[in-house]
Amino acid sequence: MSNPENVKNPPLLRVDDIVLSFGGIHAIKGVSFDIIKGEIRAVIGPNGAGKTAMLNVINGFYKPDSGSITFKGTTYSSVKPHTAASEGIARTFQNVALFHGMSTLDNIMTGRTLKMKTSLFWHLFHWGPAENEELANRAVVEEIIDFLEIQHIRHTPVGKLPFGLQKRVELGRALAAEPLMLLLDEPMSGMNVEEKEDMSRFILNANEQLGTTIVLIEHDMGVVMDLSDRIVVMDRGLKIADGIPEKIKTNKAVIDAYLGTTHQEHASA
């Protein structure tokens, strides 16, 4: 899949020299990389490397101290979450940020928010344009439910689902927005091998069938090496490597960063 043609395309998104800090602590210290349309781009690194913070900058949840974000050819110093969503960036979260009191169906329907425009007036009667819009969007959501094989939990409140299924519903909610770019923050954490295989399949299908560009944070190296076209490696707020999986595997800085943390973990244990 690491199609050399892809590399020639102009990037869909580029972050340049992003710096982010919280009360004196630097989470990201000047990181740049790009994401090309249609690729699966992994961001890896030890804990505390600043990976999630980077996703938060990309979809506007954090405002960087300096640096810029170029998306679809337009450069911003920061984006608002709402703008990022309406420009086609969707995401999932490390700890699952679903609406716990709502059913699977309703959760995924909320993913269609930006596609739904009918006014309050028609909704008072659930009639005419309002009803048609609800039904049309329901049909799209049902396709996603089929795609993710979660028909049996359609009407279950998500708070009652096991973690693995919640992750799947969250992917469904993000896909429902028909995003250009999907940010996945550890979509496979806490899953067994079988669940991981399923999730990998869904991610690949989304990428190939729907053409969604994917940015992936994941700790399972096997999964990362298999799925991704290119990998960014971060450590303590810096980018230490960037390239195709084969190169990253043998990169000395990367091995050091990972071994380094392993050493530290051993030392502290």
Partner 1 sequence: MFYNEVGQFKTSYRADQALFPIRQDLIALGVFLIFLYAVVPFTFNNFWLNTVVIPTLIFGVATIGLNILTGYAGQLSFGTGAFMGVGAYTAFKLTTYFPEINIVILILTSGVTSAAIGLFFGIPSLRIKGLYLAVATLAAQFFLEWVFIQMHWLNNYSESGAIVAPTRTLFGVAITGPSATASARYLVVLSIVVLLTWIAANLVRGRFGRSWRAVRDMDIAAELIGISLFGAKLRAFAVSSFYCGVSGAMLVFFLYGAAEPNVFDINRSFSILFMVIIGGLGSIYGSFLGAAFIWNLPIIIRLIPLALGLRVEPVYTEFLTSMIEGALIISVLIVEPRGFARLWQIAREKLRLWPFPY
Partner 2 sequence: MLDILHKIFVGPFIEMSHAPDLLVQVLWEGFVSGTLYALIALGFVLIYKASSVFNFAQGIMVVFSALTLVGLIEMGLPAWLALLMTVGVMYVLAVSVERTILLPLVNQSQSTMIMATIGLSSFLIGFGGFIFGGEPKSMPVALLGIPTGSMQFSVFNGHINIQNLDLAAAVMALVMVTTLGIFFSKTRIGRALRAVADDHQAALSVGITLKQIWVIVWFTAGIVGLTTGIFWGARSDVSFSLQIIALKALPVLILGGFTSIPGVFIGGLIIGIGEQLFEYYWGVQMGGGTQGWVAYMIALLFLWVMPQGLFGEKIIERI
Least Å from the CB of residue 139 to partner 2: 30
Q: Which positions ≥6 away from 34 have C-beta within 8 Å? A: 11, 13, 14, 15
22 binds, among partner 1, partner 2, none (CB under 5 to 8 A by kind): partner 2
Minimum separation from the CB atom of position 127 to partner 1 (A): 8
Nearer to partner 1 among residue 65 and residue 133 (C-beta): 133
Helix pair 193-209, 163-176: axis angle to 10 deg: 10
> With respect to partner 2, which residue has the nearer C-beta, 71 or 93?
93
Q: Which residues bind partner 2 (CB under 8 A)?
A: 22-23, 56, 61, 93, 95, 97
Q: Which x/- pattern over 173-192 shows residues binding partner 1 (rule: CB under 8 A)?
A: xx--x---------------
In whole angstroms, what is the distance from residue 247 CA to residue 245 CA?
5
**What's the sign of the alpha-carbon dihedral 234, 3, 59, 151?**
negative
For partner 1, the closer of residues 101 and 190 by Cβ is: 101
DSSP designation for 162: -
Residue 101 · residue 157 · CB < 8 Å: yes
Computed over its alpha carbons, how large is the radius of gyration of the chain? 19
For residue 209, what are the contacts with CB-CB under 8 A and spacing of at least 6? none
How open is the CA angle 29-30-33, to the nearest 5 degrees? 130
Q: Whole-number minimum distance, CB 110 to partner 2, in Å?
A: 16
CB 179 within 8 A of CB 92: no
CB 264 to partner 1: min, Å = 32
Other CB atoms within 10 A of residue 68 CB: 15
Stretch that binds partner 1, among 44-52, 110-118, 195-203, 219-227 (CB under 8 A): 110-118
172 binds partner 1 (CB under 8 A): no
65 binds, among partner 2, partner 1, none (CB under 5 to 8 A by kind): none
Quick one: tokens of 175? 């896909």
**Judged by CB, which is closer to partner 1: 93, or 202?**
93
Bridging pattern class, strands 40-44 and 213-217: parallel
Which of 116/244 has CB closer to partner 1? 116
Give the binding site for partner 1 (CB under 8 A).
59, 61, 81-82, 84-86, 90-91, 93, 97-102, 106, 109-111, 113-114, 116, 118, 120, 123-126, 130-131, 133-135, 138-139, 142, 173-174, 177
